[in-house]
């Protein structure tokens, strides 16, 4: 019996030792796998950041080139080998957009390159701001009243009319250009601010966006207001508009940006200096020397910088309001 017990013990001992060894091997395998996962994760993160950095450079480089080119002289800009940093910073490219700079007044300024007399950037800024502000205010009035009617009022054919409005969103805007131009010409509105403002007062997308926001406001508030004898306009002003402020801010910002960036329509209907917008002026002949037919690209870059700066600031400081307004309306991208 003693010998059998000893044999049993001797046979069981290696088995226990093998089980412990297996556990050690498994622990080593787990550690090796964990190290591989950590290394793989680090490599993926490095590749991701390298890709994002490359994309960011590709996107930002045109803006960087625009900015540094606005501080270069014409000779440096037209050099065979481009420079990534100006050899000499010059400021007359910006100054010449607002005041007349005569050749010889600034060293390196070629004959015929005075810009302000032909471009008049201050007038272009004034025209663009005037059209943007007036069109935005009138468009907000039309959008608020239309969205309120489709969201809260009951009248025959409401859904059919709203569906017809949404159907117009399927038609490309370029198709309306010819008919709008013929209509404006028949009314005698060419080269007037009226032609720049009236044709685009109604935006179906903004009406739809605000209507969706109005529908999220509980109808019990409207019924309670009607019981108290509140009129529809007063309810709209006191209740609906304050509760929909983020969406209205988004519409205001988008409308102003659209008016600031508009080019095709202003190019068709307003080509005189008294009504020309900033986008049209930048593509005009204000930067071209009539004698040599050479374009003053540094001055043109300076003008583009000044035009881009307001939109950049608007986007930086108000982007959260745009996203909040779209999210509150129930539309997700």
For 156-196, the pLDDT digits (tens) are 888 898 888 888 888 887 788 888 888 888 888 888 899 99
Where does residue 157 fall: left (phi above 0), alpha (psi -120 to 50 degrees), or beta otherwise?
left
224 near 296, Cβ under 8 Å? no
If you average pLDDT over residues 292-299, what whole number do you get?
Answer: 77
Question: Among 99-103, 189-193, 243-247, which stretch is predicted with the lowest mean pLDDT?
Answer: 99-103
pLDDT score for 28: 65
pLDDT over threshold 50, residue 260: yes
CATH number at residue 235: 1.10.3720.10
Of the candidates 116, 122, 125, 66, the residue with the CA atom closest to the CA atom of residue 259: 125
Neighbours of 22 (CB within 10 A): 10
Side-chain half-sphere CA neighbours of 118 within 13 A: 17
pLDDT digits (tens, 9 = 90+) for 1-27: 444 444 444 444 444 445 666 666 666
Domain encompassing residue 319: 118-328
**Alpha-carbon dihedral 151, 155, 156, 161, rounded to 10 degrees:** -40
| Count of the separate structural domains present in the chain | 1
pLDDT score for 102: 47
192 near 270, Cβ under 8 Å? yes
Alpha carbons 275 and 267: distance in angstroms, whole number:
10
In terms of pLDDT, which residue wins out, 51 or 280? Answer: 51
**φ and ψ of 299, to 5 deg:** -65, -35
pLDDT digits (tens, 9 = 90+) for 70-96: 888 888 888 888 888 888 888 878 877
User: 327: which 2 tokens?
Assistant: 């999210």
Of the candidates 318, 148, 315, 320, the residue with the CA atom closest to the CA atom of residue 244: 148
Query: Which of the four pLDDT bands, split at 50, 70 and 90, describes residue 104?
Result: very low
pLDDT score for 115: 44
Is 102 a member of any domain? no
Is 207 a member of any domain? yes
If you average pLDDT over residues 203-230, what whole number do you get?
Answer: 85
Average confidence score pLDDT of the chain: 79
Query: Which of the four pLDDT bands, split at 50, 70 and 90, describes residue 326?
Result: low
Of the candidates 229, 206, 224, 228, the residue with the CA atom closest to the CA atom of residue 148: 206
Burial readout 220-230 (b: 16 or more C-beta within 10 A, e: otherwise): eebeebeeeeb
Is 45 a member of any domain? no
pLDDT over threshold 90, residue 58: yes
Is 166 a member of any domain? yes
Whole-structure pTM value: 0.71
Query: Which of the four pLDDT bands, split at 50, 70 and 90, describes residue 141?
Result: very high
Q: What percent of the chain has pLDDT over 90?
A: 11
pLDDT over threshold 70, residue 312: yes
Question: Among 29-38, 104-113, 195-204, which stretch is predicted with the lowest mean pLDDT?
Answer: 104-113
If you average pLDDT over residues 300-320, what whole number do you get?
Answer: 81
In terms of pLDDT, which residue wins out, 311 or 32? Answer: 311
pLDDT score for 322: 67
Is 28 a member of any domain? no
């Amino acid at each position: 019996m003693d010998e059998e017990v000893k044999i049993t013990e001797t046979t069981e001992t290696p088995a226990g030792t093998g089980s412990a060894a297996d556990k050690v091997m498994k622990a080593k395998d787990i550690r090796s796998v964990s190290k591989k996962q950590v290394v793989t994760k680090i490599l993926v993160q490095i590749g991701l950041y390298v890709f994002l950095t490359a994309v960011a450079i590709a996107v930002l480089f045109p803006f960087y080139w625009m900015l540094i080119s606005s501080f270069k002289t014409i000779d440096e800009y037209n050099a065979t080998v481009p420079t990534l940093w100006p050899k000499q910073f010059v400021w007359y490219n910006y100054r010449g957009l607002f005041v007349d700079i005569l050749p010889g007044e600034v060293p390196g300024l070629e004959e015929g390159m005075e810009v302000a007399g032909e471009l008049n950037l201050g007038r272009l800024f004034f025209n663009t701001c005037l059209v943007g502000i007036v069109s935005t205010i009138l468009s907000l009035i039309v959008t608020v009243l239309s969205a309120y009617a489709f969201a809260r009022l009951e009248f025959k054919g409401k859904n059919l009319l709203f569906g017809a409005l949404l159907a117009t969103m399927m038609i490309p805007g370029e198709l309306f250009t010819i008919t709008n131009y013929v209509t404006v010409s028949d009314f005698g509105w060419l080269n007037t601010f009226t032609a720049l403002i009236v044709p685009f007062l109604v935006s179906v997308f903004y009406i739809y966006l605000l209507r969706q926001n109005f529908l999220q406001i509980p109808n019990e508030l409207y019924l309670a207001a009607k019981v108290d004898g509140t009129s529809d306009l007063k309810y709209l002003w006191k209740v609906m508009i304050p509760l929909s402020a983020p969406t209205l801010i988004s519409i205001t910002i988008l409308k102003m940006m659209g008016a600031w960036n508009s080019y095709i329509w202003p190019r068709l209907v307003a080509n005189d200096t008294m009504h020309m917008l900033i986008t049209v002026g930048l593509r005009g002949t204000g930067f071209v020397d009539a004698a040599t037919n050479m374009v003053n690209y540094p001055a043109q870059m300076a003008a583009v910088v000044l035009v881009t700066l307001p939109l950049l600031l608007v986007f930086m400081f108000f982007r959260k309001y745009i996203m909040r307004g779209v999210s509150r309306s129930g539309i997700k991208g």
